[in-house]
Amino acid sequence: MGKYIFVTGGVVSSVGKGTVAASIGRILAVRGLRVNFVKIDPYVNVDAGTLNPFSHGEVFVTDDGGETDLDLGWYERFLDITTSRESNITTGQIYSEVIAKERRGDYLGQCVQIVPHVTDEIKRRIRKAAAGDVDAVVVEVGGTVGDIESQPFLEAVRQMRLEEGFENTLFVHVALVLTLKATGEFKTKALQHSVNTMRSIGIQPDIIVARSDRPIDEAARRKVALFGTLPERAVFSSYDVEYVYEVPMILERQGMGEYIIQRLGLGPAQPDWTEWMRVLDMYSKAAHKVRIAVCGKYTQLADSYVSIKEALQHAGIHAGARAEIDWIGTELFEKDPDSIGMLSSYDGILVPGGFGKRGTEGMIECIKFSRVNDIPFLGICFGLQLSVVEFARNVCGLHDAASTELNPETPHPVIDLLPEQRGMERLGGTMRLGSLPIHVKEGTLAHRLYRRSIIHQRHRHRYEVNPDYWPILQEKGLIFSGFSPDGRRVEIIENPGNSFFLATQYHPEYLSRPNRPEPAYHGFVKAALERKLGHVKMSSPQLVDIDP
């Protein structure tokens, strides 16, 4: 029988439940146990695809095309696994299924209610994740205890304790412990109230993780244990660290692994942290620093580009450097064109994905600056599309070139809507999504990076390089180095006039792992480091702008 570990949060959201859940998964995995994950998001949206990154962070895309919560990215990075759309449960999904069953008559005239019909559907979805070759399922319940939206999910997992048995279920509660600046004293009252709220709905935490800016002291640990009705060894401290991948080891050293194994009867397997420690060692020994400017439109919230941030960090440590990232909103360059010169102080420039017109002219100026000044450049999805626009305008002489997403009336639609997207009425789940094969052209930078002719990468886009403009773009020197299998769609572009200029239609950051950096990011950061150290070698003369 599979084991279920339920991770809940209290006091405030974004307290680090996802990191704790992923760390628990890693703690089990290093003991040879097979782990699956479920992230519950109580919002009524069916998935994360239509959510603004400012409000919810990035949309993480799975191999099977799920547009999911960003925490699935943490699960994949921590365990080097592949999740699926079924790993993310939302209120919208649950109610859609319950209503569909009611419309079919599946409930045979019953009055459809939250209990048992909604909670039964939640439990069914959770148990589905435990099917097959799985020893434990880590279930993270999003939001905070006490939220109206979370109540059906908390009721469902409360019922699972009764149905699956005490020995097969474990409740881990993560809550903030405040620190008073004036005295440096830990304040646990908010955590205590959070635990009391859990008890009021029938759930007694088996483990409490105190989230704080520094390790809690013994007095605070005793107080948390006393008011949480737990032994002190069931109270753990998760505190701020420089590198998020330190968290599993922090919890392991406090005895969390041994406690969970004993509590769930998962056996005496000894952990093997060798590979994980190797990664942490690379981080501590990184001798250099590279400054990377990420020039986008959602830069006010770091979680908007969390997979990009992690991919740059992974690439950095494997190149012997720490990536220092500055998030730059490109509207700045539209309001103050002279400010673009600030980018000369960076070792690399990255333009990420996005939607809509805001800030796009600033992004195009960033791309032009990196190309003209030969600063290593990486464009992702929207970054590829705007790179084509920049090249068309400034190298091909198509001065009004644009994407039809940004200017439907452009005389030169070098980026246009995918044919299959025309007439699409629904926004949710209708983009070109998920893992798709890409044919990489031999003799190109992309082929040198990936070292293979066919790769698989995850996509999320509606627009593409317009085939009508392929001839002029290629005649002027732009290289198309990756295509869809049918040859109809450009997936990778390069500018051979630069030491490193690569843009991808897909999102390579989703496949980056701390122990295995994604090749496009690795190549980009290595090029940035080489530039910093003065090892730049031009592969061919630089392309020259055409004067307007």
| Residues catalogued as catalytic | 381, 507, 509
Cβ–Cβ under 8 Å, residues 370 and 377: yes
Separation CA 407–CA 389 (nearest Å): 12
Can you tell me which residue has the tokens 């999102």?
A: 507
DSSP 280-331: HHHHHH--EEEEEEEEES-TTSGGGGHHHHHHHHHHHHHTTEEEEEEEEETH
Token pair, residue 62, equals 């799975």
Cα–Cα–Cα angle for 176, 180, 184, rounded to 5 degrees: 110
Cβ–Cβ under 8 Å, residues 264 and 3: yes
Token pair, residue 348, equals 């690399």
Token pair, residue 504, equals 């991808």
Q: Which residues of 493-528 are buried (b: 16+ CB within 10 A; e: fewer)?
A: bbbbbbbbbbbbbbbbbbbbbbeebbbbbbbbbbbb
Strand 479-483, strand 321-329: pairing: unpaired
If 0-12 CB within 10 Å is exposed, 13-18 middle and 19+ buried, where does residue 331 land? middle
Cβ–Cβ under 8 Å, residues 238 and 24: no
Question: Using H for helix, E for strand and C for coil, what is the string for 242-288?
Answer: CCHHHHHHHHHHCCHHHHHHHHHCCCCCCCCCHHHHHHHHHHHHCCE
Question: Using H for helix, E for strand and C for coil, what is the string for 92-135?
Answer: HHHHHHHHHHHHHCCCCCCCCCHHHHHHHHHHHHHHHHCCCCCC
Separation CA 328–CA 305 (nearest Å): 12
Closest CA to 381 of 480, 463, 312: 463
Closest CA to 83 of 98, 102, 99, 64: 64
Can you say whether the dihedral through the CA atoms of 214, 215, 220, 225 is positive or negative? positive
Separation CA 59–CA 166 (nearest Å): 35
